[in-house]
Structure 1
Amino acid sequence: MFSNKFCRLLSRLYSRKPAAVAGTTQNLSSWTAAWKHRSARVRTLRLAVPVHISARAASQTTVDTEELRRFQKLASKWWDEQGEFAALHAMNDLRVPFIRDSLLNVHMKRQPGKPLAGLKILDVGCGGGLLTEPLARLGAVVLGIDPVEDSIGTARLHSSCDPDLRGRVRYRACTLEELSAEEEEEGGDGEQGAGLFDAIVASEVVEHLADRETFALCSSCMLKPGGSLFITTINKTNLSYALGIVVAEQLLRIVPRGTHDWEKFVSPVDLERLLESNGFSVQSVQGMLYNPASGAWSWTNSTAINYALHAVKERDDLRPEAAEDEEEHSRATSS
């Protein structure tokens, strides 16, 4: 009975209109307009940060040993759709179309039944392959990496049961920085070379990392110019603490207790600033909402709890400085 009452309370919270985003004007007609306004402010701040950062800056590991131990205990449970990862299974209803449609908009390629055919995707922190497999079924060649060897073992075992995935899915027990360092040593000519991937996916990963700067830098190194980075994560707000930790972990036990550390959560503005300082241009950010009563996810205008982000690695000829020079030249010629 307590659970039903709590779910009704959550439903009322979900149905409320999102509060105005701090720093945006009140007369913005939509969340998208607000985001564009906020993005312009972030780009202004970015001008003080060098776009190119040497790989030597990635001196730390992204792996938190406590997180590693936690996920090691859960490595055999990835494909239990009613277990600890039930919410991640349900999230595929949103994140797979989000990735697919964004990539189709960028690459303008369509092949009936296999819309992502010809694309190479890196799934960072793939766990048991919950997102790796559906992306491969859409035609992409996907490499899933995770530092937990037992999770990779689970992923390999599960994918081996589906002949449609043969030749499209591979897994490695390693970190993103290890993969990037291998490529540096090979001088850019290796199988997983820098600039090899059309897209990198990091879903429910960045809130578990020890060093997001290293993650952003290595992601940029591993993507082709114009390649896409997809992130789903949790905002750092009072509401995300209340619902993501107190409710989800302690009361409703949707995820195991201790799964999340609120101090590691990151706001869309801070994440955009980090990515743009590493050569990315953020294309879209959209709020996501999980309903524990129905076990389903939905899109929402509010990013107060969960959100999905799509960023594109800028091409050399589209760096901010070049764009500014072009804009300044355009103003001069039109005046």
Structure 2
Amino acid sequence: MFSQKFSSIVLGRHHLKPASARSLARWAAAGSGSSRTNVCRQRTRRLQSSSALLHPGARSASNTTVDPGEVRRFQLLANKWWDEQGEFAALHAMNDLRVPFVRDNLLNVHRAHHPGKPLAGLRILDVGCGGGLLTEPLGRLGADMLGVDPVEESVSVARLHSSQDPDLRDQVSYRACTLEELSEEEEEQQRAAQFDAVVASEVVEHLADLETFAISCNHVLKPGGSVFITTINKTNLSYVLGIVVAEQLLRIVPRGTHDWEKFISPEELERLLESNGFSVQSVQGMLYNPVSGAWSWTDSTSINYALHAVKRSDSPEDGSLFPEDRAEATNG
């Protein structure tokens, strides 16, 4: 009986009763970085004040994407990244969708000139790379990949795994750092934005500050660069399937992996990106079938979804949202 009900939920045929939805809503309610220049500190203060104006209902900016609790959780799982039948099995299977999603959207902008290596010549940053589950297949498509993650244990696993494949040794590299540390490092060294794309797959629902994430993505991307995000919508259905069923009943992912309060709707994520120099190109729903272990595209974004956005041409090339910062840097 349970399996029949669960199949109905997964296939979208089950609808929560109003009373149940209200109950679920009540249940759901129930590091060090690089040193900063004066210009960077001034920009940060403006960010803190403007963030409240741009997003009055959003979480307050902490100027770090790192949640210490999330770091501790993934430290305990670091040695399990490449167990395709283990805790990260769903992420392994997701490559069937997310790799073509990144590849095809980039090829719409950058025409392939290398048979078999369609992403050759492109530099891609994989944020929250974990053990390199997405970094490696993108590297095999020819991209020059840099994976960053604040969990050193995960980065060590990623380095060891990629080192065993001669085809990846010159394509893939990793750093144990955060996105904002990388962004500030480029600013302090006065280097131009270096990446053609940023990938953050199943990451934003674990971050402490999405405003800092969006600004840092803008900063490290070249003009016209892409950002690719896959994440979980904030709905009653995502709470049931993503936490109650996936974590507590079927244990598809470890208990405590997700916090429903950190989930974000496509509309909220689009507003965040649009206000930080991006133009959202597409949003597509994703559906996981725990019986077959496979992912498929769907018209509904009520659970998982993928988003592609492009850095607008009118976005400041140095990644700053505040034009006066460049004047201060010149005068100072």
TM-score scaled by length of structure 2: 0.80
- The 1-side partners of 2:249 and 2:98 are apart by 26
Aligned to 1:230: 228
1:72 aligns with 2:70: no
Helix, strand or coil for the counterpart of 2:121?
coil
Helix, strand or coil for the counterpart of 1:164?
coil
Aligned to 1:90: 93
Aligned to 1:10: 9
- The 1-side partners of 2:198 and 2:13 are apart by 33
Match of 2:157 among 134, 145, 154: 154
Aligned to 2:295: 297
Match of 2:193 among 192, 195, 205: 195
Match of 1:168 among 168, 171, 175: 171
Structure 1 residue 109: Cα displacement: 2.7
AA partner of residue 8 (structure 2): L
- The 2-side partners of 1:14 and 1:132 are apart by 32
My pick for the range that moved more, 84-93 or 57-66, is 57-66
Structure 1 residue 316: Cα displacement: 2.5
1:180 aligns with 2:183: yes
Aligned to 1:255: 253
- The 2-side partners of 1:6 and 1:116 are apart by 43
Name the count of aligned residue pairs: 277
- The 1-side partners of 2:310 and 2:7 are apart by 39
Structure 1 residue 10: Cα displacement: 3.3
Question: Which runs of structure 2 are paired with 1:94-105 in the superposition (5 Å)?
Answer: 94-105=97-108
- The 1-side partners of 2:316 and 2:79 are apart by 45
AA partner of residue 77 (structure 1): K
1:121 aligns with 2:124: yes
Contact 2:223 2:315 in 1 (8 A): no
- The 2-side partners of 1:99 and 1:314 are apart by 18
Q: Which runs of 5+ in 1 are unaligned?
A: 18-52, 189-193, 320-335
Q: Deviations over 1:17-48 (max 9, x none)?
A: 9xxxxxxxxxxxxxxxxxxxxxxxxxxxxxxx
Aligned to 2:145: 142
Structure 1 residue 185: Cα displacement: 1.1
The 3 A distance-change label for structure 1 pair 86 and 118 is same
Structure 1 residue 108: Cα displacement: 2.3
Structure 1 residue 55: Cα displacement: 5.1
Structure 1 residue 15: Cα displacement: 5.3
Structure 1 residue 60: Cα displacement: 1.6
Q: Deviations over 1:131-181 (max 9, x none)?
A: 000000000000000000000000000000000001110000000011011
- The 2-side partners of 1:89 and 1:126 are apart by 13
Structure 1 residue 125: Cα displacement: 0.0
Contact 1:124 1:146 in 2 (8 A): yes
AA partner of residue 216 (structure 2): C
Contact 1:7 1:293 in 2 (8 A): no
- The 2-side partners of 1:15 and 1:196 are apart by 45
Structure 1 residue 14: Cα displacement: 2.9
Q: Deviations over 1:298-317 (max 9, x none)?
A: 00000000000000000138
Aligned to 2:280: 282
- The 2-side partners of 1:63 and 1:317 are apart by 25
Q: Deviations over 1:67-110 (max 9, x none)?
A: 01000000000000000000000000000000000000011234
Q: Which runs of 5+ in 2 are unaligned?
A: 16-41, 49-61, 318-332
Helix, strand or coil for the counterpart of 2:103?
helix
- The 1-side partners of 2:260 and 2:14 are apart by 23
TM-score scaled by length of structure 1: 0.79
- The 2-side partners of 1:212 and 1:169 are apart by 26
Structure 1 residue 243: Cα displacement: 0.6
Aligned to 1:106: 109
Structure 1 residue 8: Cα displacement: 2.9
Contact 1:104 1:110 in 2 (8 A): no
The 3 A distance-change label for structure 1 pair 239 and 7 is closer
Aligned to 2:263: 265
Helix, strand or coil for the counterpart of 2:120?
coil
Aligned to 2:59: none
Over the aligned positions, Cα root-mean-square deviation in angstroms equals 2.0
- The 1-side partners of 2:194 and 2:164 are apart by 28
